[in-house]
Amino acid sequence: TPRVFSGIQPSGGLTLGNYLGAIKRFVEMQENGVESIYCMVDLHAITTWQDPTKLRHATRELCAGYIAAGLDPEKSILFNQSQVSAHAELGWVFNCVARMGWLNRMTQFKDKAGKNREKVSVGLFSYPTLMAADILVYHATHVPVGEDQKQHVELTRDIAAKFNHDYGVDFFPITEPVIEGAATRVMSLRDGSKKMSKSDPSDMSRINMTDDADTIAKKIRKAKTDPDGLPSEAEGLDGRPEAKNLVSIYAALSEQSVDQVLSEVGGKQFSEFKPMLSELAVEKLAPISAEMERLMQAPDEIDAILRKGADKARVIADPILQKTLEIVGMVR
Ligand code: TYM
């Protein structure tokens, strides 16, 4: 039976990339009736130092974002990772299954560590083994993510296969990444070769889920483009990363394909298209940010939702962890 798991780090605010690449897809899966588990991965967040007060705030705000975007704690399990200790425990077992060479090839680690390999945390290096544990402790079969997480989900498959092989069992499923839609990789508004990211030093590079209408309009107005107008077919966007990015965002927000959008706006200049994009973005995002703000007025209620979600998550995760430990040879 299919089971969906995905997670987002509460390390800073949510961006349009997180929304289009992940949360919007989570809501679709929930609405399709698939059993879904969505996590705020606070243990992953501390692989780089987080101010404790800000971490707590970001975790609650992420939960508010999930709910405001349409996730329903009665239909999906919503919780923060550190409340279900099975993640960390299975993560340890996977530290002993995964190979140094596999983790050395992870591009997210290489990007985040840069030249500073001696100084980053051990947790940043072993990050993907904990992510594999997040997924496999539920025997999840499908993981909706943006393009940048593909390599980590592939590593999860390798870990599951090696565990099954090393212990001669058919226990962990080989999970499928689900990377679909028009905006699997939303790019920076300032540089079409860089991913839109909550950690980019320039706030003008991204749209935050909490930005107000004026800020969204300003960021789109100032977004980098090339001097040409819009083509009428998707091929016309090849080699034009900034133009392609804005059209893809429009497509994802309006739930159309890039070709459908271009059949409508092909031939227009960006001076005409950008106000259309701003209007659409504000129309779609303003209700979500207003609802997030409302939910954040009652942090106790958010905490109660996370605790209840964690209770439900443990019911699935704990037996799978216990079975794993038994397979490995731990006395029970
Ligand atoms: P994180 O917190 O960096 O991002 C959360 C989700 O948002 C997607 N995303 C994007 N999609 C499109 N365009 C962008 N510019 C963009 N930026 C971010 C990410 O692909 C991701 O789906 N390692 C994960 C968190 C994680 C996880 C898991 C995910 C931990 N355990 C288990 C799935 C399953 C991460 O850092 O995501």
Q: pLDDT by residue (tens digit) across 262-293? A: 999 999 999 999 999 999 999 999 999 999 99
Residue ranges at the known binding site for ATP: 9-11, 17-18, 146-148, 186, 195-199
- Of the candidates 112, 130, 134, the one whose C-alpha atom is nearest the C-alpha of residue 121 is 112
Residue ranges at the known binding site for L-tryptophan: 134
Per domain, the residue ranges of the chain are 3-178+298-328, 203-293
What is 203-293's CATH topology? Tyrosyl-Transfer RNA Synthetase (1.10.240)
Pocket test for ligand 1, best of 11, 15, 18 (most atoms within 8 A of CB): 18
- Which residues 6+ apart lie within 8 Å of 306 measured at CB? 40, 59, 63, 78, 79, 80, 83
**Cβ contact 307:82 at 8 Å:** no
302 pLDDT band (50/70/90 cuts)?
very high
Task: Determine the pLDDT at residue 321.
Answer: 98
**Cα 183 to ligand 1 centroid, rounded to whole Å:** 13
pLDDT higher than 90, residue 7 = yes
Does the beta carbon of 133 sit less than 6 angstroms from any atom of ligand 1?
A: no
Of all residues in the chain, the percent with pLDDT exceeding 90 is 98
Does the beta carbon of 22 sit less than 6 angstroms from any atom of ligand 1?
A: yes
Does the beta carbon of 209 sit less than 6 angstroms from any atom of ligand 1?
A: no
DSSP three-state, residue 306: helix
Sign of the four-CA dihedral 206, 209, 212, 214: positive
Q: Calculate the average pLDDT of the chain.
A: 97
pLDDT higher than 90, residue 330 = yes
Domain 3-178+298-328 superfamily per CATH: HUPs (3.40.50.620)
DSSP three-state, residue 275: helix
Query: What are the tens digits of pLDDT across the range 17-68?
Result: 999 999 999 999 999 999 999 999 999 999 999 999 999 999 999 999 999 9
- Which residues 6+ apart lie within 8 Å of 18 measured at CB? 8, 146, 198, 209
Does the beta carbon of 208 sit less than 6 angstroms from any atom of ligand 1?
A: no
Sign of the four-CA dihedral 46, 51, 52, 56: negative
DSSP three-state, residue 142: strand
Residue with CA nearest ligand 1 atom 18? 18
Task: Determine the pLDDT at residue 304.
Answer: 98
103 pLDDT band (50/70/90 cuts)?
very high
Q: What is the ipTM of this complex?
A: 0.99
Instruction: Give catalytic residue positions.
Output: 112, 195, 198
116 pLDDT band (50/70/90 cuts)?
confident
Cα(184)–Cα(188) distance, rounded to whole angstroms?
13
Say whether pTM exceeds 0.90: yes
Domain 203-293 in the same topology as domain 3-178+298-328:
no
